[in-house]
Amino acid sequence: MALDLREQFPLAPLSTLGVGGPARYYARVTSEDAVREGVAWARARDLPLFVLGGGSNVVLSDEGHPGLVLHLATRGIASRPAGDAVELTAEAGEPWDDLVAGAVAQGWAGLECLSGIPGLVGATPIQNVGAYGQEVGETVSSVEALDLQTGRVERLTSAQCGFAYRDSRFKSADKGRFIVLRVTYVLRPGGPPAVRYAELARSLEERALGAPSLAQVRETVIGLRRRKSMVLDPDDPNARSVGSFFTNPIVPAAVADDLEAALRRDGVLGEGERPPRFPAGDGRVKLSAAWLIERSGLAKGYQRGKVGLSSRHTLAIVNRGGAAASDVVALAREVRARVQDRFGVTLVPEPVFVGVSMEL
Ligand SMILES: Cc1cc2nc3c(=O)[nH]c(=O)nc-3n(C[C@H](O)[C@H](O)[C@H](O)COP(=O)(O)OP(=O)(O)OC[C@H]3O[C@@H](n4cnc5c(N)ncnc54)[C@H](O)[C@@H]3O)c2cc1C
Protein backbone atom coordinates (compact mmCIF):
# COMPACT_ATOMS: atom_id res chain seq x y z
CA MET A 1 0.00 0.00 0.00
CA ALA A 2 1.42 3.38 -0.98
CA LEU A 3 1.66 6.03 1.69
CA ASP A 4 -0.68 8.94 1.12
CA LEU A 5 1.96 11.60 1.67
CA ARG A 6 1.12 15.28 1.88
CA GLU A 7 3.54 18.17 1.98
CA GLN A 8 3.36 21.33 4.10
CA PHE A 9 0.31 19.93 5.83
CA PRO A 10 -1.32 22.21 8.45
CA LEU A 11 -1.15 20.70 11.93
CA ALA A 12 -2.90 23.33 14.06
CA PRO A 13 -6.39 22.04 13.11
CA LEU A 14 -5.30 18.58 14.29
CA SER A 15 -4.42 19.83 17.77
CA THR A 16 -7.07 20.71 20.35
CA LEU A 17 -5.05 23.78 21.34
CA GLY A 18 -5.15 24.95 17.72
CA VAL A 19 -1.54 26.09 17.47
CA GLY A 20 1.45 24.94 15.42
CA GLY A 21 2.87 25.29 11.93
CA PRO A 22 2.71 22.75 9.08
CA ALA A 23 4.33 19.34 8.80
CA ARG A 24 6.91 19.17 6.02
CA TYR A 25 5.45 15.72 5.32
CA TYR A 26 2.28 14.18 6.72
CA ALA A 27 0.58 10.81 6.29
CA ARG A 28 -2.58 9.44 7.88
CA VAL A 29 -1.99 5.73 8.38
CA THR A 30 -4.74 3.15 8.75
CA SER A 31 -2.76 -0.11 8.95
CA GLU A 32 0.29 -1.52 10.69
CA ASP A 33 1.93 -1.99 7.29
CA ALA A 34 1.43 1.70 6.54
CA VAL A 35 3.00 2.59 9.89
CA ARG A 36 6.07 0.51 8.97
CA GLU A 37 6.13 2.05 5.50
CA GLY A 38 6.06 5.54 6.98
CA VAL A 39 8.90 4.71 9.35
CA ALA A 40 10.99 3.27 6.49
CA TRP A 41 10.24 6.27 4.26
CA ALA A 42 11.39 8.76 6.94
CA ARG A 43 14.47 6.64 7.76
CA ALA A 44 15.53 6.48 4.11
CA ARG A 45 15.51 10.29 3.98
CA ASP A 46 16.96 10.78 7.44
CA LEU A 47 13.91 12.76 8.49
CA PRO A 48 12.65 13.05 12.06
CA LEU A 49 9.38 11.27 12.79
CA PHE A 50 6.52 12.33 15.01
CA VAL A 51 3.47 10.23 15.86
CA LEU A 52 0.24 12.15 16.26
CA GLY A 53 -2.95 10.79 17.79
CA GLY A 54 -5.90 13.02 18.67
CA GLY A 55 -3.63 16.03 19.24
CA SER A 56 -5.09 16.69 22.69
CA ASN A 57 -1.85 16.62 24.64
CA VAL A 58 0.65 18.36 22.38
CA VAL A 59 2.06 21.85 22.00
CA LEU A 60 3.30 22.01 18.42
CA SER A 61 5.89 24.59 17.39
CA ASP A 62 4.96 27.59 15.23
CA GLU A 63 7.73 26.58 12.80
CA GLY A 64 5.96 23.29 12.16
CA HIS A 65 7.55 19.86 11.99
CA PRO A 66 10.66 19.41 9.80
CA GLY A 67 10.10 15.69 9.08
CA LEU A 68 7.23 13.24 8.75
CA VAL A 69 4.16 13.38 10.98
CA LEU A 70 2.44 9.98 11.07
CA HIS A 71 -1.18 10.39 12.06
CA LEU A 72 -2.34 7.12 13.61
CA ALA A 73 -5.80 6.12 12.39
CA THR A 74 -5.78 2.33 12.77
CA ARG A 75 -9.11 0.93 13.90
CA GLY A 76 -10.39 -2.28 15.44
CA ILE A 77 -11.56 -3.65 18.78
CA ALA A 78 -11.60 -7.25 20.01
CA SER A 79 -12.48 -8.83 23.34
CA ARG A 80 -12.01 -12.27 24.87
CA PRO A 81 -12.76 -13.83 28.24
CA ALA A 82 -9.76 -14.38 30.51
CA GLY A 83 -10.92 -16.27 33.59
CA ASP A 84 -13.25 -13.97 35.53
CA ALA A 85 -12.02 -11.00 33.52
CA VAL A 86 -12.31 -9.75 29.98
CA GLU A 87 -9.38 -8.69 27.82
CA LEU A 88 -10.24 -5.77 25.61
CA THR A 89 -7.78 -4.98 22.82
CA ALA A 90 -8.06 -1.79 20.78
CA GLU A 91 -5.98 -0.48 17.90
CA ALA A 92 -4.09 2.75 18.55
CA GLY A 93 -6.37 4.90 16.38
CA GLU A 94 -9.61 4.03 18.19
CA PRO A 95 -11.22 7.07 19.85
CA TRP A 96 -10.66 6.62 23.58
CA ASP A 97 -14.02 7.74 24.86
CA ASP A 98 -15.91 5.45 22.47
CA LEU A 99 -13.94 2.53 23.90
CA VAL A 100 -14.83 3.59 27.46
CA ALA A 101 -18.50 4.00 26.50
CA GLY A 102 -18.51 0.50 24.96
CA ALA A 103 -16.90 -1.08 28.03
CA VAL A 104 -19.38 0.64 30.36
CA ALA A 105 -22.31 -0.48 28.18
CA GLN A 106 -21.06 -4.08 28.45
CA GLY A 107 -20.87 -3.75 32.25
CA TRP A 108 -17.06 -4.13 32.26
CA ALA A 109 -15.50 -2.19 35.13
CA GLY A 110 -12.09 -0.54 35.08
CA LEU A 111 -12.28 2.48 32.76
CA GLU A 112 -15.46 4.27 33.90
CA CYS A 113 -13.75 7.20 35.67
CA LEU A 114 -11.71 7.86 32.53
CA SER A 115 -14.86 8.88 30.65
CA GLY A 116 -14.79 12.05 28.60
CA ILE A 117 -11.01 12.23 28.11
CA PRO A 118 -10.22 13.29 24.53
CA GLY A 119 -7.73 11.52 22.28
CA LEU A 120 -7.01 8.05 21.00
CA VAL A 121 -6.26 4.67 22.56
CA GLY A 122 -2.59 4.66 21.47
CA ALA A 123 -1.80 7.71 23.59
CA THR A 124 -3.39 6.41 26.80
CA PRO A 125 -0.27 4.53 27.97
CA ILE A 126 2.02 7.46 27.05
CA GLN A 127 1.16 9.57 30.07
CA ASN A 128 -0.79 6.88 31.95
CA VAL A 129 -4.00 8.81 31.44
CA GLY A 130 -5.85 9.38 34.67
CA ALA A 131 -8.79 11.18 36.20
CA TYR A 132 -11.17 10.98 39.16
CA GLY A 133 -9.12 8.42 41.07
CA GLN A 134 -8.44 6.00 38.21
CA GLU A 135 -5.41 5.56 35.94
CA VAL A 136 -5.18 3.55 32.77
CA GLY A 137 -2.07 1.77 34.09
CA GLU A 138 -4.31 -0.08 36.56
CA THR A 139 -6.04 -1.96 33.73
CA VAL A 140 -3.47 -2.05 30.92
CA SER A 141 -2.24 -5.64 30.70
CA SER A 142 -0.03 -5.17 27.65
CA VAL A 143 1.00 -2.68 25.00
CA GLU A 144 2.05 -3.85 21.54
CA ALA A 145 4.46 -1.38 20.08
CA LEU A 146 6.87 -1.06 17.17
CA ASP A 147 10.33 -0.58 18.62
CA LEU A 148 12.07 1.90 16.34
CA GLN A 149 15.46 0.81 17.68
CA THR A 150 15.08 -2.84 16.62
CA GLY A 151 12.28 -2.65 14.04
CA ARG A 152 10.42 -5.40 15.94
CA VAL A 153 6.92 -5.36 17.40
CA GLU A 154 7.19 -5.96 21.14
CA ARG A 155 4.47 -6.88 23.60
CA LEU A 156 5.26 -4.93 26.76
CA THR A 157 3.65 -5.98 30.01
CA SER A 158 2.19 -3.35 32.29
CA ALA A 159 5.27 -3.61 34.53
CA GLN A 160 7.53 -2.99 31.52
CA CYS A 161 5.64 0.22 30.68
CA GLY A 162 6.96 1.98 33.80
CA PHE A 163 3.65 3.63 34.65
CA ALA A 164 3.76 6.45 37.18
CA TYR A 165 1.65 9.56 37.84
CA ARG A 166 1.04 11.06 34.33
CA ASP A 167 4.15 9.29 33.15
CA SER A 168 5.54 6.10 31.62
CA ARG A 169 8.73 4.99 29.89
CA PHE A 170 7.10 6.13 26.61
CA LYS A 171 6.97 9.74 27.85
CA SER A 172 10.31 9.84 29.66
CA ALA A 173 13.17 7.29 29.48
CA ASP A 174 12.18 5.88 26.05
CA LYS A 175 10.51 8.94 24.55
CA GLY A 176 10.12 8.56 20.78
CA ARG A 177 11.40 4.95 20.76
CA PHE A 178 8.07 3.12 20.42
CA ILE A 179 5.00 3.50 18.24
CA VAL A 180 2.08 2.05 20.17
CA LEU A 181 0.07 -0.17 17.81
CA ARG A 182 -2.56 -1.57 20.16
CA VAL A 183 -3.36 -1.74 23.86
CA THR A 184 -4.99 -4.52 25.88
CA TYR A 185 -6.97 -3.66 29.02
CA VAL A 186 -8.16 -6.22 31.59
CA LEU A 187 -11.65 -5.37 32.80
CA ARG A 188 -14.02 -6.92 35.35
CA PRO A 189 -17.45 -7.94 34.03
CA GLY A 190 -20.10 -7.00 36.60
CA GLY A 191 -17.44 -5.33 38.74
CA PRO A 192 -18.28 -2.28 40.85
CA PRO A 193 -17.31 1.20 39.68
CA ALA A 194 -14.25 2.82 41.27
CA VAL A 195 -15.56 5.58 43.50
CA ARG A 196 -12.42 6.78 45.25
CA TYR A 197 -12.27 10.47 44.42
CA ALA A 198 -13.99 12.70 47.00
CA GLU A 199 -15.58 15.07 44.48
CA LEU A 200 -17.01 12.14 42.50
CA ALA A 201 -18.30 10.43 45.66
CA ARG A 202 -19.99 13.69 46.78
CA SER A 203 -21.60 14.18 43.42
CA LEU A 204 -22.95 10.62 43.38
CA GLU A 205 -24.28 11.06 46.94
CA GLU A 206 -26.09 14.25 45.89
CA ARG A 207 -27.80 12.22 43.20
CA ALA A 208 -28.87 9.70 45.90
CA LEU A 209 -28.15 6.73 43.67
CA GLY A 210 -27.39 4.18 46.39
CA ALA A 211 -24.91 1.81 44.76
CA PRO A 212 -24.22 3.61 41.47
CA SER A 213 -23.86 1.66 38.22
CA LEU A 214 -20.92 2.01 35.86
CA ALA A 215 -23.16 4.04 33.54
CA GLN A 216 -24.15 6.42 36.35
CA VAL A 217 -20.51 6.92 37.29
CA ARG A 218 -19.66 7.62 33.64
CA GLU A 219 -22.50 10.16 33.39
CA THR A 220 -21.48 11.84 36.64
CA VAL A 221 -17.83 12.07 35.61
CA ILE A 222 -18.78 13.60 32.27
CA GLY A 223 -21.05 16.09 34.07
CA LEU A 224 -18.23 17.12 36.41
CA ARG A 225 -15.80 17.41 33.51
CA ARG A 226 -18.24 19.50 31.47
CA ARG A 227 -18.56 22.01 34.32
CA LYS A 228 -14.77 22.46 34.20
CA SER A 229 -14.65 22.60 30.37
CA MET A 230 -12.71 19.35 30.44
CA VAL A 231 -14.62 17.67 27.62
CA LEU A 232 -14.12 18.60 23.98
CA ASP A 233 -17.07 20.75 22.99
CA PRO A 234 -16.79 23.01 19.92
CA ASP A 235 -19.29 25.39 21.53
CA ASP A 236 -17.18 25.80 24.65
CA PRO A 237 -14.39 28.35 24.04
CA ASN A 238 -12.62 27.18 27.22
CA ALA A 239 -12.08 23.75 25.69
CA ARG A 240 -9.48 24.92 23.14
CA SER A 241 -6.73 23.58 25.36
CA VAL A 242 -4.73 20.49 26.23
CA GLY A 243 -6.73 20.00 29.45
CA SER A 244 -4.53 20.44 32.51
CA PHE A 245 -1.34 22.24 31.50
CA PHE A 246 0.59 21.26 34.64
CA THR A 247 0.71 18.10 36.72
CA ASN A 248 0.06 18.26 40.44
CA PRO A 249 3.46 18.61 42.17
CA ILE A 250 4.55 15.66 44.32
CA VAL A 251 6.79 16.73 47.19
CA PRO A 252 8.11 15.20 50.43
CA ALA A 253 5.55 15.63 53.24
CA ALA A 254 8.08 17.77 55.15
CA VAL A 255 8.21 20.28 52.27
CA ALA A 256 4.41 20.52 52.26
CA ASP A 257 4.44 21.02 56.06
CA ASP A 258 7.02 23.82 55.77
CA LEU A 259 5.02 25.45 53.00
CA GLU A 260 1.85 25.35 55.07
CA ALA A 261 3.63 26.76 58.13
CA ALA A 262 5.08 29.62 56.07
CA LEU A 263 1.71 30.47 54.56
CA ARG A 264 0.09 30.45 58.01
CA ARG A 265 2.84 32.71 59.34
CA ASP A 266 2.27 35.12 56.46
CA GLY A 267 -1.48 35.15 57.13
CA VAL A 268 -2.22 33.76 53.65
CA LEU A 269 -4.46 30.94 54.88
CA GLY A 270 -7.95 31.57 56.16
CA GLU A 271 -9.18 30.32 59.55
CA GLY A 272 -8.80 26.50 59.57
CA GLU A 273 -7.77 26.48 55.90
CA ARG A 274 -5.12 24.02 54.70
CA PRO A 275 -3.56 23.84 51.24
CA PRO A 276 -5.04 20.77 49.53
CA ARG A 277 -2.76 17.71 49.80
CA PHE A 278 -3.23 14.05 49.04
CA PRO A 279 -1.09 11.07 50.05
CA ALA A 280 1.26 10.05 47.21
CA GLY A 281 3.11 7.14 48.88
CA ASP A 282 6.68 6.93 50.24
CA GLY A 283 6.10 9.81 52.66
CA ARG A 284 5.30 12.16 49.80
CA VAL A 285 2.21 14.24 49.14
CA LYS A 286 0.55 15.56 46.01
CA LEU A 287 -0.25 19.28 46.07
CA SER A 288 -2.94 20.90 43.95
CA ALA A 289 -1.39 22.81 41.04
CA ALA A 290 -4.70 24.67 40.50
CA TRP A 291 -4.70 25.89 44.12
CA LEU A 292 -1.07 27.02 43.90
CA ILE A 293 -1.77 28.93 40.66
CA GLU A 294 -4.82 30.67 42.12
CA ARG A 295 -2.99 31.56 45.32
CA SER A 296 -0.06 32.92 43.32
CA GLY A 297 -2.45 35.62 42.18
CA LEU A 298 -3.61 34.26 38.82
CA ALA A 299 -7.37 33.95 38.70
CA LYS A 300 -9.59 31.89 36.45
CA GLY A 301 -10.07 33.76 33.18
CA TYR A 302 -6.70 35.58 33.46
CA GLN A 303 -5.86 36.88 29.99
CA ARG A 304 -2.51 37.49 28.31
CA GLY A 305 -3.00 38.54 24.69
CA LYS A 306 -4.57 35.75 22.67
CA VAL A 307 -4.25 33.15 25.42
CA GLY A 308 -5.58 32.91 28.92
CA LEU A 309 -6.46 30.64 31.78
CA SER A 310 -9.79 28.87 31.42
CA SER A 311 -12.57 30.77 33.13
CA ARG A 312 -13.52 27.47 34.74
CA HIS A 313 -10.18 25.98 35.72
CA THR A 314 -6.84 27.71 36.39
CA LEU A 315 -4.96 24.60 35.24
CA ALA A 316 -6.03 24.92 31.60
CA ILE A 317 -4.31 27.34 29.22
CA VAL A 318 -6.75 28.28 26.49
CA ASN A 319 -6.19 29.60 22.97
CA ARG A 320 -8.70 32.47 22.83
CA GLY A 321 -8.40 32.64 19.04
CA GLY A 322 -5.47 33.13 16.69
CA ALA A 323 -2.84 32.36 19.32
CA ALA A 324 0.61 30.98 18.48
CA ALA A 325 2.54 28.30 20.35
CA SER A 326 4.87 31.09 21.54
CA ASP A 327 1.88 32.81 23.25
CA VAL A 328 0.96 29.56 25.01
CA VAL A 329 4.54 29.00 26.15
CA ALA A 330 4.87 32.62 27.35
CA LEU A 331 1.80 32.27 29.58
CA ALA A 332 2.94 28.85 30.81
CA ARG A 333 6.30 30.38 31.79
CA GLU A 334 4.53 33.21 33.60
CA VAL A 335 2.37 30.76 35.56
CA ARG A 336 5.37 28.62 36.47
CA ALA A 337 7.44 31.65 37.55
CA ARG A 338 4.62 33.05 39.72
CA VAL A 339 4.15 29.75 41.53
CA GLN A 340 7.92 29.32 41.89
CA ASP A 341 8.35 32.83 43.34
CA ARG A 342 5.40 32.56 45.69
CA PHE A 343 5.75 28.97 46.93
CA GLY A 344 9.17 27.69 45.82
CA VAL A 345 7.44 24.86 43.94
CA THR A 346 8.32 24.22 40.27
CA LEU A 347 5.33 23.21 38.19
CA VAL A 348 5.95 20.52 35.58
CA PRO A 349 4.04 20.81 32.29
CA GLU A 350 1.82 17.87 31.36
CA PRO A 351 1.62 18.07 27.53
CA VAL A 352 4.33 16.95 25.13
CA PHE A 353 6.22 19.86 23.56
CA VAL A 354 7.21 19.33 19.93
CA GLY A 355 9.90 21.64 18.54
CA VAL A 356 9.21 24.15 21.30
CA SER A 357 10.30 24.30 24.91
CA MET A 358 9.35 25.77 28.26
CA GLU A 359 13.00 26.63 28.86
CA LEU A 360 14.28 30.06 27.91
C1 LIG B 1 -10.26 19.07 27.36
C2 LIG B 1 -9.17 18.10 27.72
C3 LIG B 1 -9.25 17.33 28.87
C4 LIG B 1 -8.25 16.40 29.19
N5 LIG B 1 -8.37 15.68 30.33
C6 LIG B 1 -7.42 14.75 30.66
C7 LIG B 1 -7.53 13.97 31.85
O8 LIG B 1 -8.50 14.06 32.60
N9 LIG B 1 -6.55 13.09 32.13
C10 LIG B 1 -5.46 12.91 31.31
O11 LIG B 1 -4.60 12.08 31.63
N12 LIG B 1 -5.34 13.65 30.17
C13 LIG B 1 -6.28 14.55 29.83
N14 LIG B 1 -6.15 15.31 28.69
C15 LIG B 1 -4.96 15.15 27.85
C16 LIG B 1 -5.14 14.18 26.66
O17 LIG B 1 -6.48 14.07 26.29
C18 LIG B 1 -4.63 12.78 26.96
O19 LIG B 1 -3.27 12.84 27.35
C20 LIG B 1 -4.75 11.86 25.74
O21 LIG B 1 -4.38 10.55 26.07
C22 LIG B 1 -3.93 12.31 24.54
O23 LIG B 1 -4.33 11.53 23.45
P24 LIG B 1 -4.09 11.98 21.97
O25 LIG B 1 -4.45 10.84 21.09
O26 LIG B 1 -4.79 13.25 21.70
O27 LIG B 1 -2.51 12.17 21.97
P28 LIG B 1 -1.65 13.27 21.17
O29 LIG B 1 -1.89 14.61 21.77
O30 LIG B 1 -1.84 13.15 19.71
O31 LIG B 1 -0.18 12.79 21.54
C32 LIG B 1 0.30 12.93 22.85
C33 LIG B 1 1.69 12.25 22.94
O34 LIG B 1 1.52 10.85 22.74
C35 LIG B 1 2.27 10.41 21.62
N36 LIG B 1 1.48 9.39 20.92
C37 LIG B 1 0.19 9.48 20.53
N38 LIG B 1 -0.20 8.32 19.99
C39 LIG B 1 0.88 7.51 20.00
C40 LIG B 1 1.14 6.17 19.55
N41 LIG B 1 0.19 5.42 18.98
N42 LIG B 1 2.39 5.65 19.73
C43 LIG B 1 3.37 6.38 20.32
N44 LIG B 1 3.18 7.64 20.75
C45 LIG B 1 1.95 8.19 20.60
C46 LIG B 1 2.50 11.64 20.75
O47 LIG B 1 3.67 11.49 19.96
C48 LIG B 1 2.65 12.71 21.84
O49 LIG B 1 3.96 12.65 22.34
C50 LIG B 1 -7.14 16.24 28.34
C51 LIG B 1 -7.06 17.02 27.17
C52 LIG B 1 -8.06 17.94 26.85
C53 LIG B 1 -7.96 18.74 25.59
Quote the CA–CA distance of 67 and 88 in Å, as a whole number.
34
Q: Is 61 a catalytic residue?
A: no
The 3-class SS string of the chain reads CCCCEEEEEECHHHCCCCCCCEEEEEEEECCHHHHHHHHHHHHHCCCCEEEECCCCCEEECCCCEEEEEEEECCCCEEEEEECCEEEEEEECCCEHHHHHHHHHHHCEECCHHHCCCCCEHHHCCCCCCEECCEEHHHCEEEEEEEECCCCCEEEEECHHHCCECCECCCCCCCCCCEEEEEEEEEEEECCCCCCCCHHHHHHHHHCCCCCCCHHHHHHHHHHHHHHCCCCCCCCCHHHCCCCCCECCCEEEHHHHHHHHHHHHHCCCCCCCCCCCEEECCCCEEEECHHHHHHHCCCCCCCEECCEEECCCCCCCEEECCCCCHHHHHHHHHHHHHHHHHHHCCCCCECCEEECCCCCC
Q: Is 57 in the pocket of ligand 1 (CB under 6 A)?
A: yes
pLDDT digits (tens, 9 = 90+) for 264-315: 988 888 888 999 999 998 899 999 999 999 999 999 999 999 999 999 999 9
Q: What is the pTM assigned to this prediction?
A: 0.96
pLDDT at residue 66, rounded to an integer: 98
pLDDT at residue 2, rounded to an integer: 77
Count each helix (H run) and each strand (E run) in the chain, helices first. Answer: 7, 20
pLDDT at residue 267, rounded to an integer: 86
pLDDT at residue 1, rounded to an integer: 59
pLDDT at residue 271, rounded to an integer: 85
Residues of the chain predicted below pLDDT 70: 1
Q: Which atom of ligand 1 is nearest to the CA of 92?
A: 41
Name every residue whose Cβ is closer than 8 Å to that of residue 200 and which is 6 or more positions away in sequence: 113, 132, 133, 217, 220, 221, 224
Q: Is 207 a catalytic residue?
A: no
pLDDT at residue 270, rounded to an integer: 85
Bridge-partner residues for 187, per DSSP?
Answer: 86
Q: Is 314 in the pocket of ligand 1 (CB under 6 A)?
A: no
pLDDT at residue 323, rounded to an integer: 98
Classify 308 as helix, strand or coil.
strand
pLDDT digits (tens, 9 = 90+) for 70-104: 999 999 999 999 999 999 999 999 999 999 999 99
Of 15, 61, 91, 166, the active-site residue reads 166
If one counts every other C-beta atom within 10 angstroms of the C-beta of residue 233, the result is: 12
- Determine the distance separating the centroid of ligand 1 and the alpha carbon of 122, expressed in angstroms: 9
